[in-house]
Amino acid sequence: MLDLASVTETPKSAAEVAELVADAAAGGRTLEVVGGGTKRRIGPMAADGIVSMAALNKVVDYAPEELVLTAQPGVTLAALEKLVAAQGQMLPFEPPHLGKLLAAKGRATLGGTLAANLSGPRRIRAGAARDHFLGLQAVTGRGELIRAGGRVVKNVTGYDLPKLMAGSWGTLAVLTEVTIKMLPAPRTELTLLYFGLDDRRAGEAMTRALNAPAEVSGAAHLPAPTAARPPLAGEMAVTALRLEGFAASVAARAEHLVLALKDCGRAEQLDGSLSRDFWAQVREVEAFWKDPRPLWRVSVPPAVGWRVAESVAGEALYDWGGGLVWLLSETEPAGVRAAARALGGHVTLYRGEGPAFEPLEGPLAALTARVKAAFDPKGVLNPGRLGGG
Amino acid sequence: MKMPLPDAALIARKGEIVRALRRLVPGEGVIGDSAGLVPYQSDGLSAYRQTPLAVVLPETVAQVSAVLAWCQANGVKVVPRGAGTSLSGGALPLTDGVVLGMARFNQILEVDYANRCAVVQPGVTNLAISAAVEADGFYYAPDPSSQVACTIGGNVAENSGGVHCLKYGLTTNNLLGCELVLMGGEVVRLGGKGFDAAGYDLLGVVTGSEGLLGVVTEVTVRLLTKPQTARAMLLGFDSVEAAGATVADIIAAGVIPAGMEMMDRPAIVAAEAFVHAGYPTEAEALLIVELDGPEAECAELSQSVAALAQARGATTLRTSASEAERLAFWAGRKAAFPAVGRISPDYYCMDGTIPRRQLPHVLTRITEMAGEYGLGVANVFHAGDGNLHPLILYDADQPGQLEAAEAFGADILKLCVAVGGVLTGEHGVGVEKRDLMGEMFSETDLAAQQRVKCAFDPDLLLNPGKVFPRLHRCAELGRVHVHRGAVAFPDLPRF
């Protein structure tokens, strides 16, 4: 990894980004694209230079009544969250910042969050970052400035390139402006906590909760060893279900849920800021901040989430009703990957040595390589980050 | 509407093509006779008609793969088709191409409640998915108005919407995975039952690609739990402005209704005359607001919405007291298109999206333009997300009226783009809006999109003539040179 200070260019406009990329393409040089730098360690890279998006950090247009916001990618999540909260709105996909988890100095940006398609606990109800990514301006690896999508909430004009960019980790184009969908922030929230469930029973309880007409907007499980770590420092496993919305509705749904889960023991309630704090630590995977072991992000069909820790030795934190498992494990990478694959999922190494991303195979790998070449034929952007080409 | 010039050599090879397809799909799976081809001449955009060279109706993924591989090897164009309900000509056949109909892929393969999803074949209708899981308290959320007939494969191709998009999203927000056959015959799986997949989000770019990237042979959709209650409100206003302001107030109050529809006076009058839904025919604008969730939520929010509407001077304010009444409130809106069909020999439905704050301005301009073109217009509108459906009234038997309607429609869409909106909110570009793509995108933008097409289908054999105003040969695209990222008029806003 290059030293950020040594070879960093900090363009001040989309045209400057285009010029930098076009020059690199013409000169056969490679570039690493950096927002706040929080996720630089995910996926090893060896580039000739760095493009920092730090100076492209303005909010271009925010129309709360239209539920859309257009900003430059370098704007920090923290600044954005403050801005929209003042209008009673939120980023619906509840993006994690992950700076502390990844021991990074910088602050997470909107562009980096979209490029990594990072979504928090509300993903199960509201959708992922990609679902709220409406439009973009970007510089492809060819050095071309393009626009795609739109600035309205409903649009099917042309290919949905924002979706393609979400989760491409900066390997196709450099985002220079993005439009995202906002939603009103819930007026109240309430979390039901159940204690002492083993992983399997917790998985079943979360499934039942998510299948009830209760609009659960967070479903997480911390097994006893995970719950015993700071910040919870609890004595038993904790299973948490979040309800958000208007007060009367939340109360009615909580009542319904307590009844549906009465065999899971007595539910404790967290309100207001206690509930917010709880979900912030789930979102940021705070329990695993201080542990030096390799950390895997496991994505599997939610109903089989509890089997992950059964098949790989380690400690787990379950989010998304079991669909997202943060796994601390020293099992060799091939074993972790095989276990996830056997369950119908895949893994990404968020902390630790070695390739981060799942290798693709067969026609899908070939198609992926052609898509990469369509945007970045010379391999200028984030070379080798996703593995392979 | 100009389609690519038919290849006479291919048309001359029809007999050979039909025989080859029959070898790949035995039995009744290939239609080559002219009478049998008639039902495939057009889709929901029936102003355009062409007879395809042949229709092939495979039954297995292996057959789809073999047909596509053979067509690629022999340079034969392919137009995929679900139920043929596209409103933008997405399934319009080519006289020198084969229609690949997916109607025989009509099975629901798996319902997986534990993962809240269903795995279905692409020829299953949208409504059949919800019907299959309804008794267990689930449903599939996107509900395009053609949901009785349209297929989920077509929904994926078009990224179909419906009246509940604002709260529940379009097709793309309700998919988990698909199986896709590329033009070369390769079979790829995109996504699965988890919330995300390894690699690029190709599912995201295939959704809404209008049949130009591949043929979907299996779809995994998200299932949602049915809300406990749904309640509709009928709100009449004596101005479009007051109705529009009420929509903005509802959203500002933190309420995202399950559906929020607006109709203008011509649409209200036509619908009321047709279905007698009890709509106030003296109102200039009507809102239907649907709230869903627990009873306590619907009760609280319907009072909030009523208060907001009253503050904006609502002249009619009714809340459904029963499921029958809720459906009655919707009946007029759902029958709006056929209702307009009763008062005009022909109508042409547009589909732009605008920022909602532009609504009064846009509707005023549409009325002015209607006068200039000498045509009538009725407006229905997905008010929550700014998706306009102006229905242009014309008579195809009157010389020049179809052309006038098309020109009027194009002007409406240009207006949508000019005020910060887009050409199509849910119907797709197809052939209909293909030549307007330049209003929204530069040559560079379109070249980037077309390179995605080339990554999937390098010989440009899948559904050519749709979406792109000009389809450049993939090798030529590689040579498009942009000096230092410069484009013509870089400061010109293009949204």
Residue of chain B whose alpha carbon sits nearest to that of A118: B196
CB-CB contact of A148 with A158 (8 Å): yes
Of B341, B319, B464, residue with least CA distance to B393 = B341
Q: Please, are residues B344 and B392 in contact by the beta-carbon 8 Å criterion?
A: no
pLDDT band at A6 (very low <50, low <70, confident <90, very high): low
**Taking a C-beta distance cutoff of 8 angstroms, is the pair A194, A256 a contact?**
no
For chain A, positions 150-189, list CB contacts with chain B under 8 A. 150-161, 163-164, 166-168, 172, 183-187
Nearest Cβ partner of A168 from B200, B467, B483? B200
How many Å apart are CA A61 and CA A107, to the nearest integer?
A: 22
User: Mean pLDDT, to the nearest integer, of A267-274?
Assistant: 96
> What is the distance in angstroms between the Cα of B235 and the nearest Cα belonging to chain A?
20
pLDDT at A2: 63
A272-298 pLDDT, tens digit per residue, is 999 999 999 999 999 999 999 999 999
Cβ atoms of B143 and B152 closer than 8 Å: no
- The CA distance from B97 to B212, in Å, is 14
Residue A105: count other Cβ atoms within 10 Å of its Cβ: 9
Tell if the CB–CB gap between B202 and A368 is shorter than 8 Å: yes
* Residue A138, φ and ψ in degrees, nearest 5: -155, 160
Please report which confidence band the pLDDT of residue B334 belongs to, taking 50, 70 and 90 as the band edges: confident
Which of B137, B161, B226 is closest, CB to CB, to A154?
B161
Asked if the Cβ–Cβ distance from A252 to B194 is below 8 Å, we say no
Q: What is the pLDDT of residue B470?
A: 87
Average pLDDT over residues B99-104: 98
pLDDT value, residue B488:
39
Residue A360: strand, helix, or coil: coil
Task: Determine whether B456 is exposed, middle or buried from the number of CB atoms within 10 Å of its CB (0-12, 13-18, 19+).
Answer: buried
User: How far is the alpha carbon of A363 from chain B, nearest alpha carbon, in Å?
Assistant: 6
Annotate B411-442 with b (16+ C-beta within 10 A) or e (fewer). Answer: bbbebbbebbbbbbbbbbbbbbbbebbebbbb
The reply to whether B344-418 shares the fold of B8-101 is: no
Q: Which two tokens stand for residue A192?
A: 């039901």
* Architecture of the domain defined by B108-225: 2-Layer Sandwich (3.30)
What's the DSSP call for residue B115? Answer: G
Structure tokens that stand for A140 in this block: 């492809």
pLDDT-based confidence at B477, cuts 50/70/90? Answer: confident
Q: Work out the average pLDDT over B481-485.
A: 44
Q: In whole angstroms, what separates CA B317 from the centre of its chain?
A: 31
Give the DSSP letter string of A182-195: -EEPPSEEEEEEEE
Q: What is the DSSP letter of A146?
A: E
Average pLDDT in the A14-39 region?
97
Closest CB to A146 among B159, B293, B444: B444
Which residues between 75 and 94 in chain A have a beta carbon less than 8 angstroms from any beta carbon of chain B? Answer: 88
Q: Residues B120, A118: contact at Cβ < 8 Å? A: no
Which of A159, A171, A204, A319 to mutate: most B Cβ within 10 Å? A159
User: Which of A153, A156, A318 to mutate: most B Cβ within 10 Å?
Assistant: A156
β-pair partners for B377: B392
Q: What is the pTM of this model?
A: 0.96
CB atoms within 10 A of CB B239: 15
* Distance, C-alpha B130 to centroid of its chain: 19
Contacting A residues, span 30-59, partner chain B, CB-CB under 8 Å: none
Spatial contact of A340 and A298, defined as CB atoms under 8 Å apart: yes
Closest CA to A201 of A341, A305, A315: A305
Task: Read off the pLDDT band of B1 (50, 70, 90).
Answer: low
For the cut 70, the answer to whether the pLDDT of residue B478 exceeds it is: no
Of A94, A121, A96, the residue nearest A108 (C-alpha): A96
Interface test with A, best of B172, B433, B484, B492 (most A CBs within 10 A): B484
**Residue of chain B whose Cα is closest to the Cα of A320:** B195
- What would the pLDDT profile of A192-206 be if each residue is shown by its tens digit? 999 999 999 999 999
Among A157, A259, A306, pick the best mutation site for testing chain B contact (most B Cβ within 10 A). Answer: A157
Beta strand extents in B121-223 (DSSP E only): 138-139, 175-181, 187-191, 215-222
Shortest distance between the Cα of B182 and any Cα of chain A, in A, equals 9
Among candidates B409, B462, B403, which has minimal Cα distance to B433? B409
Fold of B229-337: Alpha-Beta Plaits (3.30.70)
CA within 13 Å, CB half, B96: 17
Which residues does chain A have within 8 Å of residue B441's beta carbon, measured at their own beta carbons?
Answer: 147-148, 158
The answer to whether A302 contacts B194, with C-beta atoms less than 8 Å apart, is: yes
Residue B150 has pLDDT above 70, yes or no: yes
Write down the pLDDT at residue B294. Answer: 95
The reply to whether residue A207 touches residue B114, judged by beta carbons under 8 angstroms, is yes
Answer yes or no: is pLDDT of B2 > 80: no
> Has residue A73 got a pLDDT over 70?
yes
Distance CA A118, CA A97 (A): 9
* A160 confidence band (pLDDT: 50, 70, 90): very high
Q: What is the pLDDT of residue A98?
A: 97
Say what the alpha-carbon torsion angle A42, A131, A323, A242 is, to the nearest 10 degrees: 110
- Tokens for A122, please give them: 């509300």
B297-311 pLDDT tens trace: 999 999 999 999 999
- Average pLDDT over every residue of B309-337: 94
Assigned CATH class of B344-418: alpha beta
| Cβ separation B255–A357 shorter than 8 A | no
Per the prediction, chain B carries an average pLDDT of 94
Q: Answer for the pair B206, B216: CB distance below 8 angstroms, yes or no.
A: yes
The C-alpha angle with vertex A327 and arms to A321 and A328, in degrees rounded to 5, equals: 155
Give the contacts of B196 (CB within 8 A, at least 6 positions apart).
A117, A128, A167, A299
- Any idea which fold B8-101 has? 3.30.43
Distance from C-alpha of A67 to C-alpha of A90, rounded to nearest angstrom = 10
Does A360 sit within 8 Å of B198, measured CB to CB?
Answer: yes
Nearest to A367 among B172, B428, B455 (CB): B455
Cα–Cα dist A149/B155, whole Å: 19
**Which of B115, B209, B442 is facing A302, going by the closest CB pair?**
B115
**Is 80 exceeded by the pLDDT of residue A5?**
no
- A49-52 and A31-34 strand pairing: parallel
Radius of gyration of chain B (CA): 23
Q: Do A155 and B422 touch (CB under 8 A)?
A: yes
Contact indicator for B413, B423 with CB cutoff of 8 Å = yes
For the cut 80, the answer to whether the pLDDT of residue B384 exceeds it is: yes
- pLDDT band with cut points at 50, 70 and 90 for residue B484: very low
CB A243 within 8 A of CB A253: yes
Which one of A66, A156, A367 has the shortest CB-CB distance to B159? A156
Pairing of strands A238-245, A31-34: unpaired
Given a cut of 70, whether residue A164 has pLDDT beyond it is yes
Q: Which residue of A has its CA nearest to B196?
A: A299
Q: Domains of chain B: which residue ranges?
A: 8-101, 108-225, 229-337, 344-418
Q: Which domains does chain A have, with CATH numbers?
A: 1-185 (3.30.465.10), 188-287 (3.30.70.2190), 291-376 (3.30.70)
Of A162, A168, A123, A134, the C-alpha closest to A61 is: A134
In this prediction, residue B481 carries a pLDDT of: 47
Q: How far is A273 from chain B (nearest CA, A)?
A: 20
In this complex, which of B161, B204, B446 lies closest to A163 when CB atoms are compared? B204
Residue spans of alpha helices (H) in B344-483? 359-373, 401-418, 437-440, 443-456, 474-477
Considering only alpha carbons, which residue of chain B is nearest residue A166?
B201
Question: What's residue B409's pLDDT?
Answer: 96
User: Beta partners for B119?
Assistant: B110, B220
Cβ-defined contact of A371 to B423 (cutoff 8 Å):
no
Average confidence (pLDDT) over B97-104: 98
Secondary structure (DSSP) of B331-354? HHHHTHHHHHHHHSSEEEE---B-
Q: What is the pLDDT of residues A293-335, one digit of tens each?
A: 999 999 999 999 999 999 999 999 999 999 999 999 999 999 9
Q: Give the minimum alpha-carbon distance from B466 to chain A in angstroms, rounded to a whole number.
A: 11
**pLDDT digits over B45-87, tens only?**
888 999 999 999 999 999 999 999 999 999 999 999 999 999 9
Mean pLDDT, chain A, integer: 96
Rounded CA separation B294/A140 (Å): 47
Cβ contact (<8 Å) for B494 and A147? yes
Alpha carbon distance B454, B290 (integer Å): 43
Which H or E run includes A327?
A: strand A324-328
Cβ of B252 within 8 Å of Cβ of A64? The answer is yes
> What percentage of residues in chain A have a pLDDT greater than 90?
96
In tens, the pLDDT along A169-218 reads 999 999 999 999 999 999 999 999 999 999 999 999 999 999 999 999 99
pLDDT higher than threshold 90 for residue A18: yes
The most distant pair of C-alpha atoms in chain A lies apart, rounded to whole Å, by: 66
Q: Is A36 helix (H, G, I), strand (E, B) or coil?
A: coil
Cα separation of B422 and A238, whole Å? Answer: 47
When pLDDT is cut at 50, 70 and 90, the band that residue B472 belongs to is: confident
Beta-bridge mates of residue A68? A63, A181
pLDDT at residue B489, rounded to an integer = 38
Task: Check pLDDT > 60 for residue B21.
Answer: yes
Do B75 and B459 touch, CB atoms closer than 8 A? yes
Closest approach of B8 to chain A, Cα-based (Å): 30
Q: What is the pLDDT of residue B177?
A: 98
What's the pLDDT at B337? 87
CA distance B469 to chain A (A): 11
Residue with tokens 């430059």: A72
Residue B4: its pLDDT value, please?
78
Instruction: Tell me: pLDDT of B482 over 90.
Output: no
**Across A280-284, B143-147, B258-262, least confident range:** B143-147
SS3 B385: coil
Structure tokens at A237: 């496993």
Q: Are B74 and B417 in contact (CB under 8 A)?
A: no
Distance of CA A389 to the CA centre of its chain: 23
Which of A17, A127, A161 is facing B169, going by the closest CB pair? A127
User: Rounded distance, CA A111 to CA B412, Å?
Assistant: 34
Work out the angle between the directed axes of helices B336-343 and B323-334 (0-180°, nearest 10): 50
Beta carbons of A145 and B187 less than 8 Å apart: no
Nearest CB to B485; choose among A18, A135, A167: A18
Could you tell me which chain A residue has the CA closest to the CA of B439? A157
User: B-contacting residues of A 225-284, CB under 8 Å?
Assistant: 245-246, 248-249, 251-253, 256
Q: List the single residue in A with minimal CA-CA distance to B202.
A: A164
What is the per-residue pLDDT for A3? 65
d(CA B315, CA B299): 21
Residue of B187, B295, B440 with shortest CB distance to A363: B187
